[in-house]
Chains A and B, each alone.
Chain A
């Protein structure tokens, strides 16, 4: 047999053996224990067998046994809404930064604190030291009946109420005793109650987090797949003493090294590499070396989350505040939805653009993030970066990451050149969403923030970047080589690297084609010569040979 045939047969056997071996190997789901039920039935605790009139009452009962829990929570950003950059000392966190969605909780606390893990933060007077103000139930409710609504400063619904006002829809009062007796480890629904609904609606903010992840299929997220691995958020965001790992302020952008065994100390447990290591590809022996060689340039998410918002919910692409306060034809506020039933215009908030199955934008990122803080100077002649993700091709700690870029227009002071704090939510006469009066709302917002205002306002274009890291697709649906290695591919606009298929050198291309042409010429000459030799061979010579 021709040696080439032997080689091909051997390769086919190796490939088949590898495929077969991995096809029959037990999956991670097979190895995982069934969901833990815990060792305590809180329904049997006398401390909880009573009527509770408020959230703080429940917390007091919790603290009778869990004596250190509130103190632990009070050290986390879920409580402080503040993060200090250890390198610069600059304060970030929701309390200090300004975004291009609802902009800032300052002066709007009663609404925004529906997503604070506490009770009663309605203004600056909130006592961050009171342990009974910590909200245990928002993270530990397993009944999915615990609801906190905007306007209640973080308290749950104590009495049946119409929400939104005038909608004819009612939210039932929370049975606090029932919720307290049913507490459990946080589920996806617990975390998602805020993180899926940030910026006022399902899927609005992140792009890779929405309510479809409460019960997702494998196609949407291989890890959270409800019928498969069924990871909860804290499966990756490993939590110690109520400190939840993983942060958009202190990001693990380029972890290297092998996977870390669970149980062993891991300072970045929410990274892909924490479990998969930085050489994660091993199933296809013909490809694994090439794929693993990409991990020093690409974040895992870049290939394994080919699109984000991969469901009908979608995500918000832009929010234009400059059209807010415009009324409908009858001079009344209007709410207009797009074809998919998502908000497109609201007299209170302006114009929105939404979409699903979005291709990320790709940028270098080394883990360092800067945010615009309240009162910080801006350059209105350019698009204002609400946050800046540092990194370049030359930086060994940088990787190419996928991002959702949320674009918008928001109010700024054209003289003092800073983004404005606007008092939007509330029942008072200064609230923008009540009186539709920009100057009044700006005065109230800036006074609360303790910042000066020139008396003028305009709107500036802004963009805010969100690294995409959830909605991990099944491995077979990861990006293929040709998605990037081609003209006008996904990385078309990314500089600093030589990308085969995208980038080319005229000289090398010419040399290559010359080599092809010479090879073809050689084949033709060789083949032609043999044909000529055969034609010239006397006919009887062949007969004699046979």
Chain B
């Protein structure tokens, strides 16, 4: 009996260690982009604007700029902020899930690594949604489906221009719809 309990405990501990090790990679996804940082961002922005379901651009951030200002040479990162009031509305309306505003607006990060390749980083919204009840889980399923469209590129189409933020860092073509997020 003691051997059995010890075995189960050991197995459980090992499983926990494995989950702990994998949690990071499960929560976030990363893929290589065939385009430059700017073109990747512009193509995602274009896809967001074409996705429907209320999706709009909420902003475009440059997280490395403050680091550069400190005198550090750092590879570029551009963070696209997108939002759809159709999906954010019900979550923000419910007192129990309003705290999830912390995760809004949705972010897609585009960055270069020292191997010279451009990567796209996204949150695994589907998995995260499962932790917060049926409303969030269902909403996130829709978000995931739309996010897949954001990342589908057609190389035969010419590179679109970047949608640049308005002065002050906010905006980026968000318009009235984005203002609701």
Please report A residues at the B interface, Cβ cutoff 8 Å.
217-220, 225, 306-307, 310, 336-341, 344, 354-359, 473-474, 476-477, 483
Give A337 to B158 CA distance when docked, in angstroms: 10
B116 surroundings in chain A (CB, below 8 A): 358-359
**8 cross-chain CB contacts under 8 A:** A219-B72, A219-B74, A341-B162, A354-B36, A357-B75, A359-B115, A474-B71, A477-B74
Say whether A218 contacts B71, CB under 8 Å.
Answer: yes
The 5 A-B residue pairs whose C-beta atoms are closest, nearest first, are A218-B71, A339-B42, A359-B116, A473-B73, A340-B38
User: Nearest Cβ in chain B — how far from A106, in angstroms?
Assistant: 34
Chain B contact residues: helix, strand, loop or mixed: loop
The reply to whether the CB of B159 lies closer than 8 angstroms to some CB of chain A is: yes
Say whether B38 contacts A338, CB under 8 Å.
Answer: yes
Give A341 to B114 CA distance when docked, in angstroms: 24
Give A410 to B104 CA distance when docked, in angstroms: 50
- Nearest A-chain residue to B42, judged by Cβ: A339
Say whether A306 contacts B73, CB under 8 Å.
Answer: yes
Give A164 to B115 CA distance when docked, in angstroms: 39
Give A219 to B71 CA distance when docked, in angstroms: 4
Give A356 to B37 CA distance when docked, in angstroms: 8
B68 surroundings in chain A (CB, below 8 A): 217, 219-220
- Which chain B residues numbered 86 to 133 have a C-beta less than 8 Å away from chain A? 112, 114-116
Say whether A339 contacts B71, CB under 8 Å.
Answer: no
Say whether A477 contacts B73, CB under 8 Å.
Answer: yes
A476 surroundings in chain B (CB, below 8 A): 72
Give A340 to B45 CA distance when docked, in angstroms: 13
Say whether A339 contacts B41, CB under 8 Å.
Answer: yes
User: Nearest Cβ in chain B — how far from A347, in angstroms?
Assistant: 15
Most A Cβ at <10 Å: residue of B38, B42, B67: B38
Chain A contact residues: helix, strand, loop or mixed: loop
User: Nearest Cβ in chain A — how far from B158, in angstroms?
Assistant: 7
Say whether A341 contacts B75, CB under 8 Å.
Answer: no
A358 surroundings in chain B (CB, below 8 A): 116
- Nearest A-chain residue to B41, judged by Cβ: A339
B141 surroundings in chain A (CB, below 8 A): none
- Nearest A-chain residue to B64, judged by Cβ: A219
User: Nearest Cβ in chain B — how far from A195, in angstroms?
Assistant: 21
- Given A336-B158, A341-B161, verify A474-B39 contact (CB < 8 Å): no
Cβ contact of B114, chosen from A306, A337, A354, cutoff 8 A:
A306
Say whether B73 contacts A339, CB under 8 Å.
Answer: no
Give A159 to B77 CA distance when docked, in angstroms: 44
Give A306 to B114 CA distance when docked, in angstroms: 8
The reply to whether the CB of B69 lies closer than 8 angstroms to some CB of chain A is: yes
Say whether A339 contacts B38, CB under 8 Å.
Answer: yes
Q: Interface size of B by Cβ–Cβ distance < 8 Å? A: 26
Say whether B69 contacts A217, CB under 8 Å.
Answer: yes
The reply to whether the CB of B160 lies closer than 8 angstroms to some CB of chain A is: yes
- Nearest B-chain residue to A307, judged by Cβ: B75
- Given A358-B116, A359-B116, A483-B114, verify A339-B39 contact (CB < 8 Å): yes
Cβ contact of B76, chosen from A306, A337, A357, A359, cutoff 8 A:
A357
- Given A336-B158, A339-B160, A356-B76, verify A217-B37 contact (CB < 8 Å): no
- Nearest B-chain residue to A225, judged by Cβ: B71
Most B Cβ at <10 Å: residue of A357, A476, A477: A357
Beyond known contacts A219-B67, A220-B73: 5 more, CB 8 A cutoff: A217-B69, A307-B114, A338-B36, A339-B36, A339-B159
- Nearest B-chain residue to A221, judged by Cβ: B73
- Nearest B-chain residue to A479, judged by Cβ: B114
Give A340 to B163 CA distance when docked, in angstroms: 10
Cβ contact of A477, chosen from B37, B39, B72, B115, cutoff 8 A:
B72
Give A473 to B68 CA distance when docked, in angstroms: 11
- Nearest B-chain residue to A478, judged by Cβ: B73
Cβ contact of B159, chosen from A218, A220, A338, A357, cutoff 8 A:
A338
- Given A306-B114, A337-B161, verify A356-B36 contact (CB < 8 Å): yes
- Nearest A-chain residue to B62, judged by Cβ: A312
Say whether B73 contacts A310, CB under 8 Å.
Answer: yes
B112 surroundings in chain A (CB, below 8 A): 357
B71 surroundings in chain A (CB, below 8 A): 217-219, 225, 474
User: Nearest Cβ in chain A — how far from B60, in angstroms?
Assistant: 12
Give A339 to B33 CA distance when docked, in angstroms: 15
User: Nearest Cβ in chain A — how far from B82, in angstroms?
Assistant: 17
Give A220 to B160 CA distance when docked, in angstroms: 28
Say whether A339 contacts B114, CB under 8 Å.
Answer: no
B70 surroundings in chain A (CB, below 8 A): 219
Most B Cβ at <10 Å: residue of A356, A476, A483: A356
Give A341 to B162 CA distance when docked, in angstroms: 8
Contact with A along B17-44 (1 / 0, CB 8 A): 0000000000000000000111101110
- Nearest B-chain residue to A356, judged by Cβ: B76
- Nearest B-chain residue to A358, judged by Cβ: B116
B162 surroundings in chain A (CB, below 8 A): 339-341
A473 surroundings in chain B (CB, below 8 A): 73
